Amino acid sequence: MISILPLPLAGEIVAGADLAALILDAAPPLETGDVVVVAHKAVAKAEGRVVDLATVEPSAEALEIAGDESDPRAIEVVLRESRRIVRRRGALIIAETHHGFICASAGVDRSNAPDDHAVLLPVDPDGSAAGLRAELERASGTRIAVIVADTMGRPLRNGIVGTAIGVSGMAPLRDLRGDADAGGYVLRSTTVAIADELAAAADLVLGKLERVPAALIRGYRAGGDGHARELIRPRERDLFI
């Protein structure tokens, strides 16, 4: 059995907050094999990745894209977080972030942000996951995995889903059948994006309750090691972009 425990962290998360301590306070004693999933917004806030829009001067491009639809200062922040614009419809921007994630608004978010502020993605979500994991392991004497999760839209299907943007302490992909398909009869991939499945599972408790930026998944026992960037399909291997 797998269990998903919501971890309501105490108080508002501010720059410099000790996320590991807040998680340890909210969680039952950690056990080896646990997966701690943290919403990117908690990580970003603790890392000070919050922009006061009053300090942002929109560029001509941001003004043009925003039009009457959106706040040009927020669009300016999106452009700064983007390596390139992948698709655009009006003020809706699907961008490739500097990390290589392709997502709406380059991950810039104004929900659950202070008034007139925007929350950015962490600078290095894999690094954030690794740092948090090191602290949690040190304090608990266990071997765990940490996932930094965001909710992302996707091509072809409606709705956003919990998605792994930072991973530490587990391999994000798992091959179900290894090389057993030498017969050439593989019609479909059997490599499962388990870090994304864990992020989606956690989002069932992150999204449903207010002020629950973290979840503990127990009973899955992910193995190996790796990074969320392995989940990004290289552009030359993607058939849709």
Query: Where on the chain is the footprint of a second copy (CB under 8 A)?
Result: 1-6, 69-71, 74, 78, 87, 89, 94, 102, 104-105, 108-111, 118, 151, 153-163, 172-174, 176-177, 184-194, 196-198, 200-201, 203-205, 207-208, 220, 230-233, 238-241
Nearest distance from residue 126's CB to a second copy, in Å? 15
In Å, what is the CA distance from 129 to each residue of 145, 181, 228? 8, 34, 10
Distance CA 213, CA 43 (A): 9
Nearest distance from residue 182's CB to a second copy, in Å? 13
Nearest distance from residue 13's CB to a second copy, in Å? 19
Specify the DSSP class assigned to residue 39. E
DSSP-based three-state secondary structure for 172: coil
Nearest distance from residue 225's CB to a second copy, in Å? 16
Token duo for residue 56: 């942002």
**Pairing assessment for the beta strands 102-104 and 35-39 based on DSSP bridges:** unpaired
Distance CA 233, CA 241 (A): 10
Of residues 32 and 191, the one with the C-beta less far from a second copy: 191
Token duo for residue 187: 């019609």
Identity at 17, one-letter amino acid code: A
Of residues 89 and 141, the one with the C-beta less far from a second copy: 89
Of residues 17 and 203, the one with the C-beta less far from a second copy: 203
Nearest distance from residue 45's CB to a second copy, in Å? 16
Of residues 19 and 53, the one with the C-beta less far from a second copy: 53
Nearest distance from residue 135's CB to a second copy, in Å? 24
| Residues 96-105 as b or e (16 or more Cβ within 10 Å = b) | bbebebbbbb
Of residues 74 and 214, the one with the C-beta less far from a second copy: 74
Of residues 17 and 149, the one with the C-beta less far from a second copy: 149
Distance CA 42, CA 46 (A): 6
